Amino acid sequence: MSRVFKTTYLLLFTAFLCGCGEPEIVTYETEKKVHMNSVKKEKSDGHNHSPYAWDKPENWTQEMGRSMRLVSFGLTEGGLDVSIVQLGGAAGGIKANVNRWRGQLSLENESEENILKTITKQKSKIGEFSWTLLSNEKESFLVSIYNLPGATLFVKAKGSIAIIEQEKNNFLSLCRSIKANDHQH
CA distance 102 to 139: 11
Report the amino acid identity of residue 119.
I
Give 155's pLDDT tier (boundaries 50, 70, 90): very high
* Nearest CA-CA partner of 33 in 159, 135, 157: 159
This prediction's pTM: 0.70
pLDDT tens-digit map of 99-123? 999 999 999 999 999 999 999 999 9
CA distance 152 to 133: 19
pLDDT tens-digit map of 4-59? 667 776 666 665 555 555 555 555 454 444 333 333 333 344 445 678 889 999 99
Q: Which CATH superfamily is domain 52-180 in?
A: Mog1/PsbP, alpha/beta/alpha sandwich (3.40.1000.10)
Which helix (DSSP H) or strand (DSSP E) does residue 161 occupy?
A: helix 161-177
Q: Which comes out higher in pLDDT, residue 168 or 91?
A: 168
Strand ranges inside 39-116, DSSP E: 52-53, 60-64, 69-75, 80-88
Domain ranges in the chain? Answer: 52-180
